[in-house]
Amino acid sequence: MKQSYKTGFSFGLTSAIITTLGLMVGLHAGTHSEMVVLGGILTIAVADAFSDALGIHVSEEAKDGNTPRTIWEATISTFFFKFVFALTFAVPVLIFPLSTAIMVSIAYGLILLGVLSFYFSKLEHVRPWMIVSEHLTIALLVILATHALGDWIGKVFQ
């Protein structure tokens, strides 16, 4: 896989998982509304995919040695992977009751993140358990923090 596509894939997938799960958990805790959670997922899929793609674009421009082609490959692949993977979190919301959909989404996101982390740790010849546990710990901290924030917002503004 070309480095520019690897950048877009790894960043887009990781960001889609962490951002979308955080948003879903927080919105669910604060509103318990399927419409609000689904709207949040769709908004993240579009707005955050563009934002992350621009961030990667600027970051890649700041690196020495990148050609315009590799910069745009990283930019477009970041947008694509963030958009597509964020949208996949809408599927459980459309299929299951909201509380179940949140649990399914958390499991799905953590499995995806674990597999991605394992794969890239093997490519880089790094101990997989260290990388996987680090990434899953960060994801769980985001989930816990956004749940607490959603609970607080739900209590303060109801």
Q: What's the whole-number mean pLDDT along residues 117-141?
A: 92
Q: What's the whole-number mean pLDDT along residues 76-105?
A: 97
Instruction: Note the pLDDT tens digit of each residue in 33-59.
Output: 999 999 999 999 999 999 999 999 999
Instruction: Give residue 135's pLDDT.
Output: 95
Q: What's the whole-number mean pLDDT along residues 78-105?
A: 98
Indicate if the pLDDT at residue 3 is higher than 90: no
Its pTM surpasses 0.75? yes
Instruction: Give residue 126's pLDDT.
Output: 87
Instruction: Note the pLDDT tens digit of each residue in 86-96.
Output: 999 999 999 99
Indicate if the pLDDT at residue 1 is higher than 80: no
Instruction: Give residue 41's pLDDT.
Output: 98
CA dihedral 139, 141, 143, 149 (to 10 degrees): -150
* pLDDT above 70 coverage of the chain, percent: 100
Indicate if the pLDDT at residue 145 is higher than 90: yes
Which amino acid, 92? P
Q: What's the whole-number mean pLDDT along residues 102-113?
A: 98
Indicate if the pLDDT at residue 75 is higher than 90: yes
Sorted by sequence, the CB contacts under 8 Å of residue 155 that are 6+ apart come out as: none
Instruction: Give residue 79's pLDDT.
Output: 97
Q: Determine the Cα–Cα distance for residues 158 and 21; give it in Å rounded to an integer.
A: 23
Instruction: Give residue 158's pLDDT.
Output: 78
Evaluate whether 44 touches 19 at the Cβ level (below 8 Å): yes
Instruction: Give residue 120's pLDDT.
Output: 86
Q: Determine the Cα–Cα distance for residues 114 and 121; give it in Å rounded to an integer.
A: 10
